[in-house]
Amino acid sequence: MAKSAVAFYQEKKTLFYSFFVIIFISVCISNGLYAADNWKLVKNSDGVEVYTRPHKNSSLEESKGIITIDAPIDILYTILLYGPTHKKLMHNCYDSFFVKP
């Protein structure tokens, strides 16, 4: 018995989505592996992890910090969007303001 056109296109659609999902997952995994390159843990204190790595074209080092905060995401979002708090949150921040596009 021959397949109907609807069943045929449904199989093609499923195959396309499966292929897309596999490609998407592969890209995410490869980017995650690449992004983890060369970071060295320099400090781990009070739940804050600080990592550094050398920058290609500079004598300065890149740095990143990782922390887990037990709070709802909407509260964190509000704090990060409120300009005056940036001076308290960012080391050596002299001033902070938003520029409207």
Tens digits of pLDDT across the chain (101 residues): 556 666 666 776 676 667 667 777 777 676 555 555 789 999 999 889 999 999 888 899 998 889 888 889 888 888 777 777 778 877 788 888 777 76
User: Is residue 23 located within the same domain as residue 13?
Assistant: yes
* Residue whose C-alpha is closest to residue 91's, from 65, 73, 61: 65
User: Is residue 29 located within the same domain as residue 52?
Assistant: no
User: Is residue 80 located within the same domain as residue 92?
Assistant: yes
Residue-range definition of the domain harbouring residue 101: 69-101
What pTM, to 2 d.p., does this model score? Answer: 0.47
User: Is residue 84 located within the same domain as residue 52?
Assistant: no
Strand pairing partners for 50?
Answer: 43, 65
User: Is residue 49 located within the same domain as residue 29?
Assistant: no
* Domains: count for the chain: 3
Q: Which two tokens stand for residue 49?
A: 């992890």
* Residue whose C-alpha is closest to residue 40's, from 54, 58, 52: 52
User: Is residue 3 located within the same domain as residue 33?
Assistant: yes
Q: Which two tokens stand for residue 68?
A: 């887990």
